[in-house]
Amino acid sequence: MAITRFAPSPTGYLHIGGLRTALYSYLWARKTNGEFRLRIEDTDTQRNNEDAMKAIIEAFDWVGLSYDGEVEYQSKRVDIYKKYIQQLLDEGKAYNCYMSKEELDALREEQMANKQTPRYDGTWRPEEGKTLPAIPEGVEPVVRIKAPSDGVITFIDGVKSIMNFDCSEVDDFVIARSNGMPTYNFVVAIDDALMGMTDVIRGDDHLTNTPKQIVIYEALGFDVPKFYHVPMINNPSGKKLSKRDGAMDVMEYKRRGYLPEALLNFLVRLGWSNKDQEIFSMKEMLELFDPTNINKSASSYNEEKLLWLNAHYIKNVSNERLAKELEFFDCHLEGHDKKEMLLDLCKERAQTLVELKEAISVILDVPTEYEAKGSKKFVKENTIKVLESYVQLLEENKNSLHLACDYELITKPFIEEFELKFPQLFQPIRIALTGGTQAPSVYDIMAILGFEETKTRINNAINANFGKED
C-alpha cells in the first residue's frame, strides 16, 4: 500500500509538469489501495498567491484527481516544525549560526576564487575542543543542521537506480531562518514523515534536495520513503518547456477546449508507456501504471498528439457530456430538438471544444454576411433561378423532410434535371445557410435547420443577392 502526495507551492498556477507528477502519484496510490494526499507548501508568505492556491484546487477538481483527507497547508503547521527544530537543537544535532550575510557572501567569493565548491565552513558548528566565536549583539541566528562531514549518502531511486552523494556536497544547511521560519527542505521532510509517505514521486529538479532531506530524516529517526525522480518535459527542440510550448496554467487547457481525460491520457504518456498503446482510460492507467517503468530520459511535448487525443475523446464521449461541456463556452443546446444530430455531425471534425462550438455556431447562427470570395466563385447568372426552383421543390415536399436522407432523395433528381454539377447547387446553398463555403454536408445542415429555417435563409441570400453589388 503506497501513500503518496502532491505538494505544490502556491506561487504560480499549476502547470502540466506538476499535473503529470500529481497523476503519477495518484495512480500509484490508487493502484495499491493506498492514499493520495494534497499538501500546499505555503510557508513562503512573501511569494504565496491566493488565486494560485485556489487554482490548484480547481485544477484537481476539473481533471478528477480525488485526494484523501483534507488539504494540508504548511502555514498551519509552523508550530510542529518549530518543535522539531528545538528537538534537534536540544539533542546537539543542530546549532545556531550567527554568520552574517556579508560574511557568508565573502566566504563564497573566496571559495569560488580558489575554484572550490561554495559551502558553509562550519564556523559556528560546535565541535569537541573547539572554541566558538563570541555571539555578536543584535544578530538573530539561523539554525543549521549538523550534516555528516564525511562518507556517502546513498538511496535507491525508483527511476534512476542507485544514487550516491558525497557528504562533501551537503554542507550544514539552514533549517530555520533568522525570523524563526523553517526552510523548504526541513518542512518537506517533516511533513512527508508525519503524513506517513511511503513513496515520493516528483520532478528530477528535486533530486539534489533528496540528500538534504535524508539528513533530516535520519537526524530525527524517521523512516526514509522511496523516491522516484521523474525527468522533465521538454519542448520539441529538447529545451525547457515554456508557456508558448504548453507549460501554461492547467485551467488554460480547459479554456482552450480540451477534455480532462485527453489531457491526463497525454500526460501519462509523457514519461511512461505500455508498449505502443496510445489511448488509456483511467481504468487502464490504474491497472497498468508502475512508477518503476517511468522513462529515465526527458520526454518531449507534442501538441499534435494532444490534439489527436482530444479529437478522439470528443468523438467518443456521450453527446450529453459534450452538451454539458459546451455550456462553459456559452453554447447551450439543451432543449434543441436536433441536438443529437447536430453534435454527431460537428464532433467528427472538431479537435477541441472551441472548434466544436464554432462548428455548431456556423450552423445555428443566422448569417449576417456572405463570403465574398465564395459568392463570386459559385453564384453565377442562373444561380438565383436555380435556387428559387429548389426552394419550390422543398416547399412541395416539406411534410416529408426530416432526415438528411430525405433531402438527398429529392435533390439528386433535381441536380440531374437541371444538369448541374454538385458544387453548382451545394456551394450556393452552403453560403446561403452558413455564410461561407466551409461547412459540413448541406443535407445534414438542412436536416438540422428544418424546412422553414432552410427556406428562410436561402430566400434571404437570394434577396440580398449574396451580398454582391448589383
pLDDT in tens, the chain (470 residues): 999 999 998 877 888 999 999 999 999 999 999 999 999 988 776 666 777 888 889 999 999 999 999 999 998 999 999 999 999 999 999 999 999 888 888 989 998 888 888 889 999 999 988 899 999 988 899 999 999 989 999 999 999 999 999 998 899 999 999 999 999 999 999 999 999 999 999 999 999 999 999 999 999 999 999 999 999 999 888 888 776 776 688 999 999 999 999 999 999 999 999 999 999 999 999 999 999 999 999 999 999 999 999 999 999 999 999 999 999 999 999 888 999 999 999 999 999 999 999 999 999 999 999 999 999 999 998 999 999 999 999 999 999 999 999 999 999 999 999 999 999 999 999 999 999 998 889 999 999 999 999 999 999 999 999 987 65
What are the DSSP E strand ranges found in 282-376?
299-300
Q: Annotated binding residues for ATP, as ranges?
A: 243
C-alpha 122/C-alpha 146 separation (Å) is 9
CATH number of 372-467: 1.10.10.350
CATH number of this structure's domain 3-75+233-300, picked from the four choices 3.40.50.620, 3.30.470.10, 3.30.70.270, 3.30.260.10: 3.40.50.620
Residue (of 51, 60, 58) closest to 12 by Cα position:
51
C-alpha 381/C-alpha 162 separation (Å) is 80
Residue with cell 470570395: 373
Q: Where are the domains of the chain?
A: 3-75+233-300, 77-230, 317-364, 372-467
Q: Do domains 3-75+233-300 and 77-230 have the same CATH topology?
A: yes
For the chain, how big is the Rg over CA atoms in Å?
A: 32
> What grid cell was written down for 82?
518549530
Angle CA 259–263–264, to nearest 5: 115
How would you class 380 by CB atoms within 10 Å of its CB: exposed for 0-12, middle for 13-18, buried for 19 or more? Answer: exposed
Query: pTM for this structure?
Result: 0.91
Sign of CA dihedral 167, 171, 172, 177: negative
- Produce one character per residue of 433-455: b if its CB has 16 or more CB atoms within 10 Å, e if not: bbbbbebbebbbbbbbbebeebb
Q: How far apart are the first and last CA of the chain?
A: 78
C-alpha 155/C-alpha 163 separation (Å) is 5
Q: What is the pLDDT of residue 127?
A: 92
Q: How many CB atoms lie within 10 A of CB 287?
A: 12
Q: Which amino acid does the sequence have at 322?
A: L
Q: What is the pLDDT of residue 324?
A: 97
> What grid cell was written down for 135?
555571539
Chain centroid to CA 134: how far? 53
Contacts of 33 (CB under 8 A, 6+ apart): 1
Half-sphere exposure (CA, 13 Å, Cβ side) for 70?
Answer: 4
CATH number of 77-230: 3.40.50.620
Q: Annotated binding residues, as ranges?
A: 243
Count, residues in the chain = 470
C-alpha 204/C-alpha 291 separation (Å) is 14
